Every structure is written in structure tokens, then in C-alpha cells.
């Protein structure tokens, strides 16, 4: 696949992962790059990227943006742990349906869809070295994984035989410019509100954002190579599970923030989350409970995956090792106001 001949649209192109993908495409001298997001990006525009400001729920806007494209990379999503189900459904499911329909209308046969491992498991149990044979759970504790699973099914079963699609499930994306995971951890730790849930011996996969972006490039190349009607999902990670709380405390120590030592039993956190969900259900959706059942499980249990399928099928391997990624991220965090930087 010669990227110099391709016109690529990245839905969510100004987001954390999406922007890294766009920058990787720039490095590949991609013929034409479109970023479609709810907010503009002057930095990308200055680099020659066609920046579309729009909402993925806007069917007409999505249809128009995909016109003349040859590859679609869909990273846009309503993430997080709290909010009305309709919002999650409209963005994650209907938005994906809009993208699929736009692909068919404009004969775009190569699609990469960014999903999440949380779509495939219950957070209330250890998931260790699981592969793509892992079945969807019968019950979800949050709207995000529920709607991501539904969107996966939409991609896998979409009724257009010419479409070739790769679904990627990167776990806990992190790195410089992270607007979510690390800032939230740091803010809670500095406020003395971060506690170890459970025994603190759980291992999790991480996915450095540069590695996640590379997986999307390789996934697109593989989707094109695989031909019509190829549909498959893959787990993606840094291929080196870490002890969650050890990793968090190492990060905090490097930032001169007191490490976390206080512990809360899982059942206590789970029951507190259940109660808070009941209370916050009657509050404006912009309020987020400090604990939910989903978060309690995510923080207490092990969740890491076997990425052999991605290695075998399209040659995915982390391009940045865990140690280098850690150093790069710490240096970036030290430069931020959140950590006392500029």
C-alpha cells in the first residue's frame, strides 16, 4: 500500500489518538489527509491537513466528508464512565453506522475502527492473556463498553460485501498529550483522593499512543491487502503487562507526588459505586460519581491480552518500548501546569 496515493479521513482526528494517527500519515507523505472532529485544529491545518469541524452524529456531514476518500480510520467516540445512554448510543453506535453508510455510498473499501477491550469482558473478574475468542459479556456495567460492543457488531455484520474492516482494541492508551487517564490520576493523587482498590496486585495492559497509532497504520494496510468482506477484531497493547498500582506509584514518584498506599476492599468500593450510581442518576449528567461498579472492577482486577493475532496477521509490534514510553511521558507531564510545569 503506497500512502502517497491514498486519501484518508480520520474521524476524531484532533483527539488524543486521532492526532497521532494524522501525524503518522503526514510522515508517510499521504496524498490527502482529512481530520473530522467536533473541534478544529489549527496546528494540523498548518501542516496541510484538511480539517473538518463536525459531529459524527450528523449523517449529512459524515457523508460529505468521506467523499473522494480511499481509507477511513474511525477513532471518534463518546468515552468515559458516566452520562446518558442515548448520548453514548447516538455517538458510538449511530455514528459508526453513519461512517459505514458513507463508506458504502462512496465506495471506500478500507476501514479501521477503534474499539476497546472493555467491550469484550466483565470488569468484575480477572482477564489474563485473553485472545480474540473472548466472547462478549451478557451484561455491562457502563454505557461505553456496551455501545462499543454494539458498534463492533455493526462493523462485523455490515451488509456490504466489498468492505474490508479491521477493528482494533487498544487497552488504556497513554502518553504525551493524554487529556484523560494520566491527568485524572494525578489530580486525584494530589488531592489525596486516589486509593488502591483491592489487593493492589492486579496486572493490566497499557498501549502507548505512538504504538496505538502505528497499529492503525498497519491495520489499514492489512485491511486493504485482505480484500473484500474481510472483518476481524484484534487486541493491541504494549505487549508488557504492568502491575497497575506499581506503575501508577512509579509515575507519581517521578513527578514528586506522594505514592498511593491506602487501600479499599473491592467489595466496599463496588457497593459504594452502586450506591453512587443510584444517587447520581438523578443529578445533571455532567456530574460524574467518584466511584462506579465499572471503575471498581477496572481498578481491582487484572486485564491483559494476547496480541499474537495482530503480530501474525499484520506484523504489529510496539515501536516504542515501555521504558522509553515512560520517560517520554514523565518529561511531558513535568512540563504541564498540572504537575507544576509551565
The residue behind cell 494517527 is: 21
Q: Give the pLDDT of residue 340.
A: 58
- Maximum Cα interatomic distance, the chain, rounded to a whole number of Å: 56
Q: Give the pLDDT of residue 338.
A: 66
**Per-residue cell: 338:** 498540572
Q: Give the pLDDT of residue 16.
A: 97
**pLDDT tops 70 at residue 244:** yes
Q: Ranked by mean pLDDT, which of 238-242, 281-285, 290-294 comes out on top?
A: 238-242
Mean pLDDT of 153-169: 97
Q: Give the pLDDT of residue 287.
A: 75
Burial letters 37-56, b for 16+ CB under 10 A, else e = beeebeebeeeebebbeebb
The answer to whether the Cα torsion of 106, 111, 114, 116 is positive or negative is positive
CB of 289 closer than 8 Å to CB of 82: yes
pLDDT bracket for residue 98 (50, 70, 90) = very high
**pLDDT tops 80 at residue 76:** yes
Mean pLDDT of 172-185: 93
The string of pLDDT tens digits covering residues 196-229 is 999 999 999 999 999 999 999 999 999 999 988 9
Which of these is catalytic: 20, 88, 144, 316?
A: 144
Q: Give the pLDDT of residue 286.
A: 59
Mean predicted lDDT score pLDDT of the chain? 95
Q: Give the pLDDT of residue 337.
A: 74
Q: Is 144 a residue of the active site? A: yes
Fold of 3-171+209-236+305-318: Rossmann fold (3.40.50)
Strand residues in the chain grouped as ranges (E): 7-11, 32-37, 50-53, 71-74, 110-114, 127-130, 164-170, 173-174, 196-197, 203-204, 207-208, 231-236, 242-243, 263-264, 303-305
The string of pLDDT tens digits covering residues 1-25 is 899 999 999 999 999 999 999 999 9
User: Which residues does 33 contact at the CB level (< 8 Å), separation at least 6?
Assistant: 7, 8, 9, 10, 13, 22, 25, 26, 48, 49, 50
**pLDDT tops 70 at residue 341:** no
Query: Read out DSSP for 222-260?
Result: HHHHH-TT-EEEEEE--S--EEHHHHHHHHHHHTT-PPP
**Per-residue cell: 136:** 462478549
pLDDT bracket for residue 185 (50, 70, 90) = very high
**pLDDT above 90: percentage of residues in the chain:** 89
**pLDDT tops 90 at residue 103:** yes
Mean pLDDT of 95-122: 97
User: Which residues does 275 contact at the CB level (< 8 Å), separation at least 6?
Assistant: none
141: left (phi over 0), alpha (psi -120 to 50) or beta: alpha
**pLDDT tops 80 at residue 121:** yes
The 3 state secondary structure assigned to 289-313 is CCCCHHHHHHHHCCEEECCHHHHHH
Mean pLDDT of 310-323: 97
**pLDDT above 70: percentage of residues in the chain:** 98
**pLDDT tops 60 at residue 342:** no
Domain extents in the chain: 3-171+209-236+305-318
CA–CA separation, 144 and 88 (whole Å): 6
The string of pLDDT tens digits covering residues 18-62 is 999 999 999 999 999 999 999 989 999 999 999 999 999 999 999
CA–CA separation, 74 and 76 (whole Å): 6
Tell me whether residue 325 is exposed, middle or buried, using C-beta atoms within 10 angstroms of its C-beta: 0 to 12, 13 to 18, 19 or more.
buried
The string of pLDDT tens digits covering residues 278-289 is 988 887 655 789
CA–CA separation, 263 and 68 (whole Å): 54
CA–CA separation, 292 and 82 (whole Å): 9
CB of 96 closer than 8 Å to CB of 88: no
**Per-residue cell: 133:** 475468542
Amino acid at each position: 500500500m503506497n500512502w502517497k496515493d491514498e486519501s484518508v479521513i480520520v474521524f476524531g482526528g484532533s483527539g488524543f489518538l486521532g492526532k497521532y494517527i494524522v501525524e503518522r500519515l503526514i510522515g508517510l507523505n499521504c496524498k490527502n489527509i482529512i481530520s473530522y472532529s467536533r473541534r478544529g485544529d489549527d496546528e494540523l491545518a498548518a501542516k496541510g491537513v484538511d480539517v473538518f469541524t463536525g459531529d459524527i452524529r450528523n449523517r449529512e456531514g459524515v457523508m460529505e466528508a468521506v467523499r473522494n476518500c480511499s481509507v477511513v480510520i474511525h477513532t471518534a467516540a463518546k468515552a468515559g464512565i458516566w452520562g446518558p445512554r442515548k448520548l453514548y448510543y447516538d455517538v458510538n453506535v449511530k455514528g459508526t453506522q453513519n461512517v459505514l453508510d458513507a463508506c458504502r455510498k462512496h465506495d471506500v473499501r478500507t476501514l479501521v475502527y477503534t474499539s476497546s477491550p472493555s467491550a469484550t469482558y466483565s470488569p468484575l473478574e480477572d482477564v489474563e492473556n485473553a485472545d480474540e475468542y473472548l466472547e462478549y459479556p451478557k451484561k455491562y456495567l457502563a454505557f461505553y463498553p456496551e455501545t462499543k460492543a454494539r458498534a463492533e457488531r455493526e462493523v462485523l455484520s455490515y451488509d456490504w460485501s466489498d468492505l474490508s474492516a479491521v477493528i482494533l482494541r487498544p487497552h488504556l492508551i497513554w502518553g504525551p498529550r493524554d487529556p484523560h487517564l494520566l491527568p485524572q490520576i494525578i489530580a486525584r493523587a494530589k488531592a489525596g483522593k486516589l486509593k488502591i482498590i483491592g489487593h493492589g496486585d492486579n496486572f493490566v495492559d497499557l498501549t502507548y499512543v505512538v504504538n496505538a497509532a502505528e497499529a492503525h497504520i498497519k491495520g489499514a494496510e492489512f485491511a486493504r491487502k485482505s480484500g473484500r468482506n474481510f472483518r476481524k477484531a484484534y487486541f493491541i497493547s504494549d505487549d508488557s503487562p504492568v502491575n497497575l498500582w506499581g506503575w501508577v506509584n512509579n509515575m507519581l514518584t517521578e513527578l514528586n507526588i506522594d505514592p498511593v498506599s491506602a487501600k479499599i476492599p473491592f467489595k466496599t468500593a463496588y457497593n459504594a459505586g452502586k450506591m453512587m450510581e443510584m444517587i447520581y442518576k438523578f443529578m445533571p449528567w455532567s456530574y460524574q460519581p467518584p466511584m462506579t461498579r465499572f471503575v471498581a472492577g477496572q481498578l481491582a482486577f487484572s486485564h491483559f491480552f494476547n496480541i499474537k493475532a495482530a503480530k501474525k496477521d499484520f506484523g504489529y509490534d510496539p515501536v516504542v518500548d515501555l521504558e522509553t514510553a515512560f520517560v517520554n511521558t514523565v518529561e511531558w507531564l513535568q512540563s504541564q501546569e498540572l504537575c507544576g510545569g509551565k
